[in-house]
Structure 1
Amino acid sequence: MAYKGLSLEGKKALVFGGTSGLGKSIALGFAEAGADVVPVSRRAEEVSKAAGEIRALGRRTLESTADVTKREDIQRVIDRMLRE
């Protein structure tokens, strides 16, 4: 649930761990506030599910998997988000 009066319209949010638990709640909250959100996890099926929920809120998203212990994975996701 987004905070009343909070607008993230025109913003992009990248949420590592954004497919379950607190991370997913944060990702959906950002989307409810108007941000386009990229939820990231190691599990593609979880990313796809979270991205579907973000799209259902009318926001844009990308489906990206990454291992946050690998710097190159993190950089790849950031670069893709900034390009698209």
Structure 2
Amino acid sequence: MELRSDRSGDCYGLDSSVCESFPISGTEFVVVVVVVVIVVVVVLAAAAAVLVVVVVVVVVVVVVVVVVVVVVVVVVASTIWYLF
């Protein structure tokens, strides 16, 4: 197979030796590039989704810890206040 232009036969501006050694046609090359771009976009979207989930979990854990600390401090302070 050759990398070739369907209209002009100009090998997409590449040297003819490059076309002769290239293992796939121009159409196949475009399909491969499109598939690679789609895979990269999907992987990046998945990574972004995982990052969002991690950030949400960290925020929830921090909020829970802060609430627990505030409740404990209020209970201890009120207990000390009533005892003395």
Task: Give the TM interval when normalised to the shorter protein.
Answer: under 0.3
TM-score normalized by the length of structure 2: 0.20
State the structure with bigger RCO (CA 8 A, min sep 6), 1 or 2: 1
Higher helix proportion = 2
Question: Is the strand fraction higher in 1 or 2?
Answer: 1
Q: Which has the larger radius of gyration?
A: 2
Task: Tell me the TM-score normalized by structure 1.
Answer: 0.20
